Amino acid sequence: MTDPVPAVEIAGITKRFGDVTAVDDIDLEIGDGEFFALLGPSGCGKTTTLRMIAGLDFPTMGSLKIFGDEVGTLPPNKRPVNTVFQAYALFPHMDVADNVAFGLKMQKVERAERDRRVAEAVGLVQLGGMEGRRPNQLSGGQQQRVALARALVNRPKVLLLDEPLGALDLKLRQEMQLELKALQREVGITFVFVTHDQEEALTMSDRIAVMHEGRLLQVGTPEDIYQRPANRFVADFIGRTNLLEATVASPEEVVLSNGMRVEAASDHAFGTKVAVSLRPEQAFLHRRGGSPAGWPSIDGVLREVTYVGNALVHSVAVDWITIEVRTPYRSTETPPQVGDEVSVSWEPGGVTVVGD
């Protein structure tokens, strides 16, 4: 048995536009059948990476393989991938059926086969009966389905999606997240999607690659990325967190900037400046002095309480920073009031050390 061939294999890819390095020497393997997210803020190079896989941009250097075949300089029409574009890019002068049939026509698939596959794809995205409509007669969600059908009808080996849900409103976006996931299981091919929305990436993906300023910071499962962020940027970008400045004292301990010793494992050298990431939902709030015995605890003053439906978000001012604590909302309890003296604590070892 040999190792399965990765769907997409990126090795040492760099992309420069003039003086600007959009993608800086990244290596990435995306497995067959994976739902893979490229996540990062605007301008991080995620869309450029996707466009290079699609063939819409060519790498300045490096190797790009799709199922083992080098495709780095092939034009988009010679690659076994299809793209769902941001804002869909549906052809406005064609109806739904012609939009979906376009790829098959270009590949000269014969009429009967084409009609059959178009009907199948339209059914797959639940747009039966809409075949004769123009894109401007469809809602945003329907346009998105047409874009999916138009790509999937070609049976690509890899489907690329550029901010596929970006143009939809929140409710529809959450529905489509689940639908996309179900669709991917149904067709069983690799989905690579680009998003700046960390929640979307965490919800939908098997694995996530976090990018920043053209570089790949971390690749891992949503749990990996959330629980064990590779560095300060990832910890801060994924979810919400409190970053407490610290210095490494031993492999098991760091010293916070107020001199407090905190149990936290790291492989950084003694004396390295690091940060301790404390997730708001992993922090606990007590009245001053009420922290469980043996738990690390910092005293502070409650500055603000925000009700967010299923939880309360507390801002606690300690000596040098404001810490966010998230607790489940229970109507029977009287929560601490603004101005109260409180303590923030966490389970020993419940924080993560992140370097720069």
Partner 1 sequence: MTAIAGRLLPNGNPVRLGDLARRFSLTRGALTANAWFVYLFFYAPIALLVVFSFSADRNVGRWGGFTLSWYDDFIGNTSIQNAIWVSVRVALLSTVISVVLGTLAAFAIERFRFRGRQAFDALLYLPIIIPDVTMAVMMLLFFSEFFDLVNLLFGTDLRKGFASITVSHIAFNISFVSVVVRARLAGMDKRLEEAAMDLYASRWKAFRHVTLPQIAPGVAGGALLALTLSLDDVVVTQFASGPGATTLPVYVFGLIRRGVTPLINSVSVVMLVASIGLVLLSLFVQRSRGGAAVGPPGAVAAGRSRRSS
Q: How far is the CB of 119 from partner 1 (least distance, A)?
A: 18
Which 66-85 residues touch partner 1, going by CB under 8 A?
Answer: 75-77, 81-83, 85
CA distances from 10 to 5, 29, 62, 72, 311 (A): 13, 6, 8, 9, 42
**With binding defined as CB under 8 A, does residue 20 bind partner 1?**
no
86 is a site residue for partner 1 (CB under 8 A): yes
Q: Which stretch binds partner 1 (CB under 8 A): 4-12, 133-141, 252-260, 319-327?
A: 133-141
Site for partner 1 in 134-173 (CB under 8 A): 134-136, 150-151, 154, 163, 166-167
Rounded Cα–Cα distance for residues 338 and 316 (Å): 9
Pick out residues in 230-269 that bind partner 1 (CB under 8 A): none
- Show Cβ contacts of residue 156 under 8 Å, excluding neighbours closer than 6 positions: 80, 81, 82, 189
Residue 196: CB minimum distance to partner 1, A: 6
Distance of CA 124 to the CA centre of its chain: 25
**Backbone torsion region of residue 283, taken as left when φ is above 0, otherwise alpha when ψ lies between -120 and 50, otherwise beta:** beta
Question: Of these, 12, 61, 87, 338, which contacts partner 1 (CB under 8 A)?
Answer: 87
Judge whether 40 and 211 are in contact, CB under 8 Å. yes
Residue 226 CB, nearest distance to partner 1 (Å)? 22
CB of 187 to partner 1, least distance (A): 17
Q: 22-61: which residues touch partner 1 (CB under 8 A)?
A: 22, 40, 42-48, 54-56
Q: What are the structure tokens assigned to 81, written together?
A: 């991938």
Residue whose CB is less far from partner 1, 213 or 224: 213
Contact 257, 246 (CB under 8 A): yes
CA–centroid distance for 207 within its chain: 9
Q: What is the DSSP string of 268-292?
A: SPTT-EEEEEE-GGG-EEEETT-SP
What minimum distance in Å lies between the beta carbon of 267 and partner 1? 31
Q: Which of 286, 293, 335 lies closest to 312, judged by CA?
A: 335
What minimum distance in Å lies between the beta carbon of 110 and partner 1?
A: 15
| For partner 1, the closer CB: 77 or 334 | 77
Q: Applying CB under 8 A, does 190 fall inside the site for partner 1? A: no
* Interacting residues toward partner 1 by CB under 8 A: 22, 40, 42-48, 54-56, 75-77, 81-83, 85-93, 102-103, 106-107, 134-136, 150-151, 154, 163, 166-167, 194, 196
